[in-house]
Amino acid sequence: MKPTVHDIARTAGVSLATVDRVLNDRPGVRAKTRERVTEAMNSLGYVRDVGAANLARGKLYQFDFIFPDNENTFMQSLRAELESAAERSLSERVLINVVLVPAFDEGALVEALNACVNRKPDGVAFVAVDTDPVREACVRLSGQGIHAVTLVSDLGNSTRAHYVGIDNGAAGRTAARLLGLFASGTNGAIAVIAGSLKVHDHQERFDGFAAAMKTDFPQHEILPILEGFDEGARVEKLVSELLAKRSDVVGLYSLGAGNSGLVKALAAHSSINRPLVVAHERDAVTSQALKEGLIHAVLAQDAGHEIRSAIRVLKASADRLAIVPGQEHIRIEIFLKDNLPQLD
Amino acid sequence: MKPTVHDIARTAGVSLATVDRVLNDRPGVRAKTRERVTEAMNSLGYVRDVGAANLARGKLYQFDFIFPDNENTFMQSLRAELESAAERSLSERVLINVVLVPAFDEGALVEALNACVNRKPDGVAFVAVDTDPVREACVRLSGQGIHAVTLVSDLGNSTRAHYVGIDNGAAGRTAARLLGLFASGTNGAIAVIAGSLKVHDHQERFDGFAAAMKTDFPQHEILPILEGFDEGARVEKLVSELLAKRSDVVGLYSLGAGNSGLVKALAAHSSINRPLVVAHERDAVTSQALKEGLIHAVLAQDAGHEIRSAIRVLKASADRLAIVPGQEHIRIEIFLKDNLPQLD
DNA sequence: CTGAAAGCGCTTACAG
DNA sequence: CTGAAAGCGCTTACAG
């Protein structure tokens, strides 16, 4: 039915070993022989069976995933998705090893990366802290032929093979457009609350937001950014104080975590002049707030997709196979109350 | 390293054939024997290698995809994605057969479905026309043990095993909320243009849109629906006439195809009082219109994702394996000019 | 530079 | 009810 290596060997008049050599671009085949085999492959319309190839190689893929031990809901769901993906991957000969490191701790991350250099897995995925020591550790990895992939937060200007995550600048601009369009009848002030601007993705989101706001909706004043360090209680206090002080706030962009505090502050505020709100990450808190009308739009990235994508990309790197770009593009998702997935 | 059937056979004191029987739940094993094998599997932490299993079965999966030969951009990209997926699938032992039928032609669809009953592929994916004859053809398929999956447009109350597509009612509600929030400062009229309300998904989108509009933004009058039959020229004419006649139109929801005509009509209209516009499907025309500010938001479904999902679901059905629900959920995507993918 | 043989982990007739 | 043997499509030492 479907031609196999045997068919090629027969029509090219060579052995299986030789077919395999040209199939995998290994040396030690005369140009002429190589040509005959290639010709046979083309004329028969050969397509290699990757499952059989992997089986024959008997290879077990080993991938390390290095995560910050952050307790925010997004990191939690990322870890949950990884665990269930790891279980499923076992039946496809990939073994996943999860390494937790203290959050925002550059030293710990470098150490974990170095540990990989010694254990030599086939690939590593990590949530980057964007500093030079991390960049150097990444270089050491690629030096050892270990494919590295950044997850959620990228490592700029580095040797990582791929970044699995959203474009945070674009996310910020998207938030600006949503708020700008939502608040088009007004010209009040816009507030922004972040976790910390020291975090790369938060900074990027803010930059994108501020730039788009200034360009396309200049009538709105952007208030000095508030830093809530992703903690609900702190966010609640900051937002409550702000709303009490400034009655002209028409829009609010929450670009970090700690949304439980945000929602509490909004609910406590007079429903007459609540601001229009765009927040990040879909979880139980933001979904509920969307339904109640406290938050008007949520920007999100799909943790499950990110995990599956990282594994596919790592596997493709190990096998030197191409990826399907459309499948690995992580979208900036926008949720209103109406397009939330049912089961939440 | 990873335990295999041999390990189980040895520790349970049985042959490979017996291990295989309990592994695949086949009859002809004494309860006691079955128990011993199960125990061995658990104690060793056995996980079956699906690649090896498929190879041994030597099975070639055959799936039929039945598409309307519609020329709108969405159907085009659906077909393009299918072709590239089909090529890749070959290396995973799945053979895809594309069948084109005249659009909206229930008889042709039924005929194509019946042809499947004879050719007996392992599964069928089709864009449903929602009528009883189609439902009956679907019953015949399941009667033959052929797994059927609907794509893009569902077949209500039927024996299809799965629906790959978006919730069109929710899409309509999402459009209503976007327009309602965008136009919150005003109370003008809202226009809706569809392909044809005889098409199931268009009707669903309209129903969702009208319901959400009435409930949450009752200040806006909804004008009688316009039917452009997904043709650019017709849509252009209808929209031009409308905008000329009614200067109070603040919002427009285009829930079908033919957006090239929509964009022309908008561009020709005085830029002072252009309406806020939400349209469906991301393509070259709508992407460009987003960038130029003629369209403000685009609702979309990812054709590549839908095709890959259909294939995965069909394969899982054939193997009686579970799917990963989160991976198969087709999202209602929202695009603003800021979160468009780069390469368009 | 090339080939014969064994093996990857599973399944499938077939025999008993 | 159970097992021995061959085979799925590829790869890998090893020998020449």
Rounded CA gap, A334 and B185, in Å?
A: 22
Say yes or no to pLDDT of B84 above 90. yes
Average of per-residue pLDDT across B46-66: 90
CA angle A291-B278-A298, nearest 5°?
30
Q: Which two tokens stand for residue A157?
A: 């200007």
Q: Which fold has domain A168-301?
A: Rossmann fold (3.40.50)
Mean of pLDDT over chain B:
92
Task: Label the pairing between strands B276-280 and B297-300.
Answer: parallel
CB neighbours of A88 closer than 8 A, spacing ≥ 6?
A: B324
Average of per-residue pLDDT across B39-63: 89
Nearest residue, CA→C1' of C3: A15
The answer to whether residues A280 and A254 touch, using CB atoms and an 8 Å cutoff, is: yes
- The pLDDT score that the predictor gives to residue A343 is 60
B291-306 pLDDT, tens digit per residue, is: 999 999 999 999 999 9
Q: Is B56 on the interface with A (CB under 8 A)?
A: no
Say yes or no to pLDDT of A70 above 90. no
How close is the nearest chain B Cα to the Cα of A108, in Å? 30
Nearest to A182 among B84, B170, B182 (CB): B182
Across A184-188, A239-243, B255-259, least confident range: A184-188
- The pLDDT score that the predictor gives to residue B343 is 60
User: Residue A344's pLDDT band (boundaries 50, 70, 90)?
Assistant: very low
Q: Which two tokens stand for residue A3?
A: 């031609």
- The pLDDT score that the predictor gives to residue B70 is 83
Q: Which fold has domain B58-164+303-328?
A: Rossmann fold (3.40.50)
For CATH 3.40.50.2300, the residue range(s) in chain B are 58-164+303-328, 168-301
User: Residue A275's pLDDT band (boundaries 50, 70, 90)?
Assistant: very high
A81-109 pLDDT, tens digit per residue, is: 999 999 999 888 899 999 999 987 889 99
Rounded CA gap, B108 and B174, in Å?
A: 34
**Local structure of A124: helix, strand or coil:** strand
Q: Is B48 on the interface with A (CB under 8 A)?
A: yes
Say yes or no to pLDDT of B344 above 50. no
- For residue A328, what is the nearest residue in chain B, using CA coordinates? B305
Say yes or no to pLDDT of A1 above 80. no
Nearest residue, CA→C1' of C7: A56
Q: Which two tokens stand for residue B243?
A: 């905008």
Say yes or no to pLDDT of B159 above 90. no
- The pLDDT score that the predictor gives to residue B271 is 77
Average of per-residue pLDDT across A221-225: 96
- The pLDDT score that the predictor gives to residue B18 is 92
Q: Is B98 on the interface with A (CB under 8 A)?
A: no
Interface test with B, best of A181, A302, A337, A340 (most B CBs within 10 A): A181
Say yes or no to pLDDT of A64 above 60. yes
Average of per-residue pLDDT across A37-65: 90
Average of per-residue pLDDT across A280-296: 96
Cβ of A203 less than 7 A from strand C: no
How close is the nearest chain B Cα to the Cα of A105, in Å? 31
For CATH 1.10.260.40, the residue range(s) in chain B are 5-48
Cβ of B48 less than 7 A from strand C: yes
Which CATH number is correct for A5-48, 1.10.3720.10, 1.20.1260.10, 1.10.260.40, 3.40.50.300? 1.10.260.40
Nearest to A184 among B2, B182, B304 (CB): B182
- The pLDDT score that the predictor gives to residue B321 is 86
- The pLDDT score that the predictor gives to residue B2 is 84
Chain D bases closer than 7 A to any CB of the protein: 1-14
Between chains, do A308 and B327 touch, taking CB under 8 Å as contact? yes
- The pLDDT score that the predictor gives to residue A186 is 85
Between chains, do B48 and A326 touch, taking CB under 8 Å as contact? no
Q: Which two tokens stand for residue A32?
A: 């002429």
